[in-house]
Structures are given as structure tokens and as C-alpha cells.
Structure 1
């Protein structure tokens, strides 16, 4: 029960990092993840493809749907639904992420991201031979790959990794001007934890090639319970296909759980003097770019028990002509596996299967997989303290909920309105600055006191109201707090006024002793131009919850803040007539306090006004006018 309560608390606390999904379970363990997301499909229903895989739309998994764009290549209602015909494009934000719950931390996942580009923007300069957009693909704060697209080609990337949390985030990030990230499909599959465990879980595997030999049919789900896609081999020479005679194949000895369907048949050379050369086209082309690789090769005898006196099949795996494995005798009705994990390679590295001198039969192979191994993965996500504080801000100000994924990672793609510490892959990033000037925030400040790494907070030029929270004075590292040009009221907490190390900017508020700026019925709009699909004029005020079917207004940031695209950070505020700043000398804070209002006695702290949050002198003005008019009336009546 305690665990259930903890899960519910986490779900409430992290609105932009968690979403609810329906998980389909064809995999072996009960809580397995099997999610197929058609990006750009906005229908409320699901559909099933020719492989009996159930696909769902993507709106439940993203937070920036109102500023993204959806395109469908076909407009006829008679056209069958297919993920290759839809796409979601992201014209705003540094990065845009899909967040998928996976049940628990430590899940080993296969994630496949697919992209199909066509001229969905009706570009007059478009050509079928022109390159498509290029952008970055990321998972859980780690660089995955650079996506390179061209018209009408389907490009897919697969990664296998162990998730560090109970959700995983897949992000696309803009890296070039005028080249907008997009995505067509996203698929997640749980793997048994023993699978691919020859590689340490602090590294990820990126698919280079996965081939089935002896068949011309692609093998995937349901024949492969994990929905790995096994592509028929086509590059062998001096070979022939051999149909297997075994009724079933025992795969229990193979740690990576190959499907029986890829082991039924095999390919062999036409003689013992020929070798099988494996496909390495998915590896880097240059020898200078050699990478660590992981390869799994599968061998299963296809002929019934051989005549031991005349027939013998034995083979070896060689790398660049040097023996890598010992002698392999493929078993009938089961499988023998060779794992290659401790070498670097590139596309011209030769992986060959050859007969031994004792073999009377040619070499064969049933299937194989080839992966590159990444560098060490980020071991720590953004601090839980900061995630909790950011979630509180996102709950209060709905305009901030379009940001998702890790707030600080990768470091070059942090959220536009935060700054983070530069850390190693082993250190936990901390948020050091909040840059929310001119974001159209409206309402009181929530409690984000857990963010004790903050050094700078800039909320100037919004429509914040209510009192200044006391917790701001307890942030141990804070050296700049800019709350100017809002409608905050009440007294200034002494924890702020007595802080000798804090630059405090409060100009243009309704605090005790200050003249209040005119009250507008609506908050100021966010700085910067509206996003491509701008909010209609009857949309709700920025910073509050919009209707579910209406876009939230906000800034239109791209790679980095710049004039006209993002609100200025404001961390170096312009000259102002009232800057409350602690002097460098010791002793109590010596800032120049505003004079007390008429009718009040001098005191060290002026009590905050009672009643509503509107800080105006209208009641006193009205009373004065009434008295003045009454006196004039009295004088005339006596005259």
C-alpha cells in the first residue's frame, strides 16, 4: 500500500514528466511494456496492423502538442490507417520529448524510432532529390544519433538500454536553422533482463544490422515476441539456402532469446573452400571512426543427424582473417551461439564464417545481430529536488507544461528557462537559474523551496500577485531575485531584506509603501512573437489552464534565447529607480526603504493590507471625494 501511495504522489508531483498509458503485453513477463505510437495520429481509437500490433495516437505522450504540427499524407477516409502516412513536426522549443511510463526502474528496453519525410510543408523549393531535415535523437538525457532523412525513405533507429527510472523519455532536438525535427513512429518493447547482458548496463546498444538467413521473409512480432525486425540477407555469394528438417528448435541455451523462426533454415556456401562474409554496412565508414561492437551469431544444423563416418560440419568465426571463436559444431534441433564483445570495428572489418580443416560440409549460419556500443550513459538525472520544484511551477503555470524530458540533460539542450550546473556523467545536475521574465505568468508564486541550488531567480515583467513567499529568503545560494513589474503585495520578508549577499529587485509592485501600478484586467502577453499556430483571441490568460482543445500561448524559443524568439533572461536588469541591494559592508541591511503611507506610523515592518489582493488607494480616494462633496453641499445650503 505504501508503494501505491508513493506512486500516486509521484504522479501528482511530476505532471510534465509522467503520463498515463495503456500497456499491451505480448512479452514474457507480466508487466512488460509493448507500446506502439503512431506520431501524428490524433484519432481517439487504436488500430491493428498486418502483424497484429496495436497502434495508438501520440497525444497522451507529449506536452507540446498545441505548438506542434500534424500532417497526414492522405486525406481520403478510405485510405487505410498507417503510421508511415502521418508525422508530427515540432517548430518550437529546444527539444521536444515523448515520456512513456515503463512500470519500474531497471527495465531493459528496445526502443525503435522511425522517420518518413515528404513535403508536408508544401515547400516551393522542394525536390524529391533534396535532403530532408537533419536533427538530433536523444533518450533519457543521452545523445542517441543524428537523424538524416531524405524524401519518402523510411529511416529507423533502434537502441537497447536499461532505464534508470520508471519512465523513459525519447526526444528530438533541433540542430540546424530551418530544419524542423519530426517523428513518424515510436515503439517500445520490454526485454528479459538476461538478454544482451554481455554488455554492461551503463552502456547502450545501437542496432547496425540484424539478419535472418535461409529465408526471404522479414521476421518480427508475433514470431519474435520482442518484435525485433530480422531482415533477410542478400549480400552472400556462392551460397544456397538450406531448408531445416527439425520440427522445432530449442533456444533455451541462447541468452539473447532468438526467435525459433530465424533458426529453422540456414544459408551455406557451395563448398568448404568458400566463406560467409557478414554484413557490416551499418558501421562507420572510416577506420578513424572505429567503434566498440557487440555481435551475436546463431548456428543451427538443418540436416538430420549426420552420418558420422562421412559427414561432419565444423566451423569457426574469424575477424579480419584471425580466428575469434573455437570450433563450432552446429547442433540439430537447438542452437549454438558466438558472442563478439571485446573488439572495435568499422564497415571494412571482415567477419567471416569458415569451415575447419576437419569439416566435410560447408559453413552455414542461421541469423546474426550487430550493434555498436555507446560511451558511458549519464548515470544521474536532474536532481529530484529540482524536478519537484519545477513540477510545482508547471502545476501553477500551465504555459510551462510544454517543456518535458530531463530539464538539464543533455547539457546543450536544457530547458530554455533554466540554467544548470555543468557536470560529469556521474554527477547529478542542479538547476541554478530560473529565467522566466515576460512569460505571461499570472497568479501567486507556488512553493519551489526544494530547489536549494538556485543562484538567480528572474520573474520580472509578469502578472504575479499575492505576497512574496518567505521560503525565497531561505534559499542558501540565492544571489539575485528579480520580482519587478508584477503585482505582488504585502510586506517584504525580513529574510530577504536582511540578506547581505542578495540583490533584490522589487520595482513596480504593490508592496507596502509602494504606489501600485494601474491594474489591468488581463496579464501581459509573453514576450516574443506567437508560435506558428497562435492562440486565438478568446483563449484563457497565459499562465492559467487553457481548455483541453485550445493551445496555450507562450514564447517561441528555438535553440537558444535570442531577441524576438525568446523572452530576454533579464538576469542583468536595466537601471531602475528602486533596487534593493545589500551593501558589501557588514551589519544589518542598509537598503533605502520606501516612505510609509500617510496615516501610518514608522515601523520596521509595515503590515500588509487586508482584504483582496488588489493593492489600490481607491477606497481612500473615494472617501475623500465624498467628504469634499459633502462639505461643498453644506456650504451652499447655508449660503
Structure 2
């Protein structure tokens, strides 16, 4: 907003673009305007109308106060057209030409994708709000597949809604306790919460994730003991559980041995065969 365009020997600004045929058919323009001249106490004014393909779209636009900014737009999309020409035309009583600082153009997008599992959507929304995730997490977590949320891996089935199968929030600045909302991602296989500042104990509910194969909690400030069900899964080789660099974990004398129990070697007993030969 620190730069702008204004005509020198004209009373209009013209913007034009040709949409890709068959790609989209609705557009939502947003025009950002700021006044660089202090018009207070002067006889000067800056007023203009905005036209789209020579039809008035927005009228009687006045610039905001000096060094303030504003945006003009309409909630109704522009009608379909092979080409678009947006023009800012000064009113007859305006002593200054129109001014434009920035221009945004949003398009509608066809989405025939199946929405994500409702439970996963609720869980991911709760996780986003709980930790105030500073990522581009908007819309549906898994759908459409080209815009899946950063850090997520989703499974897409022809007969079911997309499911979240992996979530990586490593080094994301998470603080506080591990929310039980992670346990609501019932199809989760990999969960990486390493190198954050998570505190408190490990929730027992994570053991309810029957598909969980990897749980990485390395480099946090967790305390207490490992839930017995998670410990048993790790010791049986069903779960890779990473807990290094948690100095306060298992300080109460409880076991933190998450290595799978060594398999017992089968002892074979040699069989001695005695061959007796009798004379005929």
C-alpha cells in the first residue's frame, strides 16, 4: 500500500485480462485504495466510478483519509465474459484522477471432491485452534487433494471420505499439553510432535489409535510415565515410540524401555540316531 498508480494526462485507469476459456466463469475483484495527498482544507477531491465492460459496477468511490487505506468490492461475482475491462473513471466534479494501490482477483473453483471425514475435520479444527497453528490451514483438511493442509497425509478411497493418516507438526512451536483431539484422528498411522515445547503427561487416549505405527515425541518437556498400553504396543513391536530428549519423563522410577522384547530363539534338541546292524 506504499505505492500507487494514477494517470497523469487522463481521468481513468484501465485494467484488462482474458480468462482461460472453460477454466472459471466467476470473478471477485478487490481494489485497494489509499490517499497519498492530504486533501483536508483544500478544494481538491478524488471521486470516481468503477466500470466493468463499460457497465457501472461500483459508484461514487471516494478515497479514504490521508494515509489511510480502504478496499472496494462486491459480493456478487462478475458475469461470465470472454474478456474483462475494469476502468476507474473520475467523476465530473472530481479535481484529481482515480488512484489504485493494489488489485486482487479471486476466482471460483469447481470442487467435485468428496469432503473429508467429519470426525477428522472436527479434530483438525480443534488442534488448529488449540495450538494457534500458523500455517495455511484453511478449508477442508484433505479435499481437494491438491490443497491438502501442510503437514498432513491423507488416504483417498473411492468408497469413503478422505482420512488423515499422517500428521507432522515437528518444530511448530507447540506449547502446553498434548490435546486429546489427536486421538480423534482414528485413521492416524504416523504422528510427529517432535521438537516443540509440549508439557504434561502423554495422554492414555493415544493408545486407542489402532492404526498408529509411529509416535514421535522427541525433544519436548513431557513428564510422568508412559501409558501402559502404549508401552506394551512398543515392546510388542507394534509401535515405534520415540521419546528421547524429554528430561522429565519417567523420573518417578517407572520404566521407559520402549524397545521391543527380543525374540526367543528356538532351541533345537539334537537327535542321536543309533544304527544297529545285525548279521543275517
**TM bucket, shorter chain:** 0.5 to 0.7
Matching residue of 2:260 = 582
Change (3 A) 1:186 1:492: same
The correspondence for 1:377, drawn from 83, 96, 112, is 112
Change (3 A) 1:486 1:78: closer
Contact 2:215 2:242 (8 Å CA) reproduced: yes
Matching residue of 2:241 = 504
Matching residue of 2:170 = 437
* Cα RMSD for the two superposed structures: 4.3
Change (3 A) 1:492 1:40: farther
Structure with larger RCO (C-alpha < 8 A, sep 6+): 2
Aligned counterparts, 1:615-630, within 5 A? none
Aligned counterparts, 1:122-141, within 5 A? none
Change (3 A) 1:76 1:185: farther
Alpha-carbon displacement from aligned partner over 1:428-473 (angstroms, at most 9, x marks no partner): 1000001111111111111212110000000111111011111111
1:481 CA displacement = 0.3
Change (3 A) 1:473 1:78: closer
Alpha-carbon displacement from aligned partner over 1:557-616 (angstroms, at most 9, x marks no partner): xxxxxxxxxxxxxxxxxxxxx982435859xxxxxxxxxxxxxxxxxxxxxxxxxxxxxx
Contact 2:188 2:212 (8 Å CA) reproduced: yes
SS of alignment partner, residue 184 of structure 2? coil
1:423 CA displacement = 3.2
How far apart are the structure 2 equivalents of 1:583 and 1:478?
Answer: 19
1:412 CA displacement = 2.9
Change (3 A) 1:78 1:421: closer
How far apart are the structure 1 equivalents of 2:190 and 2:69?
Answer: 53
Contact 1:502 1:581 (8 Å CA) reproduced: no
Aligned counterparts, 1:444-523, within 5 A? 444-448=177-181, 449-499=183-233, 500=236, 501-509=238-246, 510-513=248-251
Aligned counterparts, 1:191-340, within 5 A? none
TM-score w.r.t. the length of structure 2 is 0.55
Matching residue of 2:22 = none
How far apart are the structure 1 equivalents of 2:32 and 2:157?
Answer: 35
Matching residue of 1:392 = 126
**Unaligned runs of at least 5 residues, structure 1:** 1-35, 43-47, 55-73, 85-109, 115-151, 155-181, 189-205, 207-373, 516-577, 587-639
How far apart are the structure 2 equivalents of 1:584 and 1:49?
Answer: 79
Alpha-carbon displacement from aligned partner over 1:73-115 (angstroms, at most 9, x marks no partner): x99959996648xxxxxxxxxxxxxxxxxxxxxxxxx97489x
Question: 2:176 aligned with 1:184, yes or no?
Answer: no
Runs of 4+ in 1 over 6 A off after TM superposition: 78-82
How far apart are the structure 2 equivalents of 1:446 and 1:439?
Answer: 15
1:413 CA displacement = 2.5
Alpha-carbon displacement from aligned partner over 1:298-340 (angstroms, at most 9, x marks no partner): xxxxxxxxxxxxxxxxxxxxxxxxxxxxxxxxxxxxxxxxxxx
SS of alignment partner, residue 580 of structure 1? coil
1:185 CA displacement = 4.5
Change (3 A) 1:447 1:183: farther
How far apart are the structure 1 equivalents of 2:68 and 2:217?
Answer: 55
Matching residue of 2:137 = 403
Matching residue of 2:92 = none
How far apart are the structure 2 equivalents of 1:512 and 1:488?
Answer: 9
**Unaligned runs of at least 5 residues, structure 2:** 1-27, 35-47, 51-55, 87-101, 265-280
Alpha-carbon displacement from aligned partner over 1:359-417 (angstroms, at most 9, x marks no partner): xxxxxxxxxxxxxxx7x822x21111111111121121113464111111221321111
TM-score w.r.t. the length of structure 1 is 0.26
SS of alignment partner, residue 166 of structure 2? strand
How far apart are the structure 2 equivalents of 1:53 and 1:476?
Answer: 57
Aligned counterparts, 1:602-613, within 5 A? none
Contact 1:465 1:488 (8 Å CA) reproduced: yes
